[in-house]
Structure 1
Amino acid sequence: MTETHDVALRAGDHDFRVRVYPAPEPNGALLVWLHGGAFMFGTLEMPEADQVGRRLSADGITVVSVDYTLAPLEALEILGPPDPDADMPSPEQMRAEMEAAGPRARFPVANLQVVAAFDWAVANAATYGADPERVSVGGASAGANLSAGAAMRLRDRATTAPRVLALVYPSLHDGILEPNDETAELLRSVPAARLFTPESRDAINRNYLEDPDGDAHGYAFAGGHDLAGLPEVLIVNAELDSLRPSGEAFAAELAAASVDVRVVREHGAMHGYLNEIGHPAGEHTLALLADTVGGS
């Protein structure tokens, strides 16, 4: 089976689907991949999802891209209108475009769906020429958060675990972490519309997890929790990203928990660069993903 196709699944009392990008010449690896979008937005057609699926499958890695249930749109009112120079749709336009996405739900629905997608991928890996023990999980931005939360739940379940956890410009802590002086200076050159602020991040996070005390196990925000026992982790941070301190702090937490971790900084890149086809940082990140996930 080599054609891209969708598979219907159900978890967290919600229907969802995965889109499978079978590798024409499989190398035995499979990646369950999650797009970003502040938990509220994103589709399987966006480059952050589709480009990853097409490029990595061409490198021999079957990709299972997850169309998880999105969070409600209430945070749009809190975030307010976007910067008029940011070439972004208004909240009203975004709401109209996203109403067709179907039922929405907060944590833990998407988290449970990622686990279910991983289980499906393990059970069906051989169909695509992949080894069930070489199934990895990864994502970008909110998708990276979902990937880490699913890895925590899978670790605690103590059955099958991902081979690699791949996190691209991730948000892993419940809030914006304070940047160091070097990072703060770099962020001054970034347009305000391309940065998350403490206020915008809090609105996004509360829209996903209403009760900040309702995450005792780190399934919603893995940062700051016990990370021992997680699989090998790749973290790719965008240099000009107010979320970079979260990725860097998470790497330090992993190392302190004796988890193998590799941290890469994409110099000169802003958050979301995988949505720009041909972006140099995107090309480098795709190569990193292929090497890390596809390695035996």
Structure 2
Amino acid sequence: MIEERGIDGPHGTIPLRIYLPDGESSDLGLVWCHGGAFFAGDLDMPENDWVARRLAQRGIRVVTVDYRRVPKPEGPRWKDLAADNDLERPNHFPVASEEVTAAWVWASNHDTARSWALGGASAGANLAAGATLRLRDRGGPVPRALLLAYPVVHAELPPLSAELRAKAEALPDEAAFWPDSVRSMNLNYVEDPALLKQPYAFPGGHDLSGLPPTFIINCDHDTLRASGEQFGAELLAGGVDVTVIREPDTVHGHLNTPDVPQAQASITRMADWLTSTTLLGSAHERN
């Protein structure tokens, strides 16, 4: 069953779409955020709707967030991507980040699941990670787990390994996120260059101790894998229990193509990790 509703947020009403398991459900809930380079994407895209439906089939209550998006950035990298967002307000950081935070707080306080995770894909993974840092710094509670699919969590693209660079150079231009396009996307999100250093905007490179157990699934042929892999290493250094998986033979955004076997494999990995009683680990004290 699917329920549409709106909740009061810090910047106005936040539309939510709630996916309720049809059969036996667990006590698990997930607040999920789609991607779209901070300016695109919606609740109907497979990365949102298909992911939520599949996780609900595994007994997880899923709340998806229609957060406010920013204007489309300038440049050839973005010219062919649609942007249907409402431009009455620019909605730069921290708008979407605060809305995701508010959605998780609402779900954990008002819905029936007792254990709530937070997650997202690409830009949505950034929003989930930043919101979790904000919740940590407020003194909690924080999500039970953090689920990140091919995240962009660093203000600057980390260096690529030789293996990743060779794969990326074989990609068509429209499929690769090189450092200049990552910076333009990120600057378009925050607008003010000084905010690129804000940990709630880009958590990578900041103090990550005290975050919950985290699962990161990266795309194989994707320059943004460098961000996901480095974030995993930073989480580990911060004392966080973390699992990092590279889905073979995938490009960025493969959860938007649910018919491919790799997307099916990824959603199974995600659901298995979320519902496991032995794999998640537990939150550690903050350093």
Give the TM-score normalised by structure 1.
Answer: 0.89
Partner residue in 2 for 1:123: 109
8 A Cα contact 1:235 1:247, kept in partner: yes
The equivalent residue for 2:20 is 22
- The yes-or-no answer on 1:254 pairing with 2:235 is yes
How much has 1:104 moved relative to structure 2?
Answer: 4.2
Q: The residue matched to 1:51 in structure 2 has which SS?
A: helix
Relative to 1, partners in 2 of residues 1:225 and 1:29: Cα closer, same or farther, differing over 3 Å?
same
Asked if the contact 1:79/1:203 (under 8 Å) is kept, the reply is no
More helix by share: 1
Q: Distance in 1 between matches of 2:58 and 2:131?
A: 25
Percent identical: 41
Q: Deviation string for 1:23-68 (max 9, x for gaps)?
A: 1221111000000000000010000000011111011001000000
Shift in Å, 1:198: 1.6
Q: CA deviation at 1:179?
A: 0.4
**3-state SS in 2 of match to 1:107:** coil
Number of equivalenced pairs: 276
> Is contact 2:219-2:225 (8 Å) kept?
yes
> What is the CA-CA distance between 1:294 and the residue it aligns to?
1.9
1:6 corresponds to which letter in structure 2?
E
Aligned residue number for residue 108 of structure 1: 94
> Structure 1 residues 269-278 or 99-108, which shifts more?
99-108
**TM-score, length basis structure 2:** 0.91
Q: 1:59-107, CA deviations, whole angstroms, 9 ceiling, x for partnerless residues?
A: 100100000001122x1x334665xxxxxxx46xx35xx1557644010
Q: List structure 1 segments (4+ residues) > 6 angstroms apart after TM superposition.
A: none
Mapping of 1:59-208 within 5 angstroms?
59-73=58-72, 75=73, 77-79=74-76, 82=79, 90=80, 94-95=82-83, 98=84, 103-126=89-112, 130-131=113-114, 134-208=115-189
CA RMSD of aligned residues (A): 1.7
Gap regions ≥5 residues in structure 2: 278-287
Give the structure 2 partner of residue 245 of structure 1. 226
Q: Tell me the SS of whatever aligns to 1:185.
A: helix
Aligned residue for 1:272?
Answer: 253
Aligned equivalents of 2:6 and 2:132: distance in 1?
A: 22
Contact persistence 1:135–1:162 (CA under 8 A): yes
Instruction: Say whether the 8 Å CA contact 2:186–2:196 is kept in structure 1.
Output: no
Q: Distance in 1 between matches of 2:92 and 2:70?
A: 5
Deviations 1:139-192, CA, capped at 9 Å, x for gaps = 000000001000100110112110110110110100222201111112122112
Partner amino acid, structure 1, of 2:101: V
Task: Say whether residues 1:287 and 2:265 are aligned partners.
Answer: no
**Higher relative contact order (Cα pairs below 8 Å, separated by 6+ residues):** 1
2:14 match: secondary structure: strand
Q: Take 1:281 and 1:210, find their aligned partners in 2: how far apart are those partners? A: 35
Q: Aligned partners of 2:214 and 2:198: how far apart in 1?
A: 19
Q: Given the alignment of the two structures, is residue 220 of structure 1 paired with residue 201 of structure 2, yes or no?
A: yes
Matched letter for residue 115 of structure 1 = T
In the other structure, the counterpart of 1:9 is: 7
Determine the C-alpha separation between the residues in 1 that align with 2:128 and 2:85: 25
Q: Is the 8 A contact 1:173 1:246 kept in 2?
A: yes
Between the aligned partners of 1:165 and 1:286, the Cα distance in structure 2 is 15
Can you give the 5+ residue segments of structure 1 that lack an aligned partner in the other structure?
A: 83-89
- Indicate how the Cα distance of structure 1 residues 60 and 157 shifts in structure 2: closer, same or farther if over 3 A, else same: same
Moved more, 284-293 or 44-53: 284-293
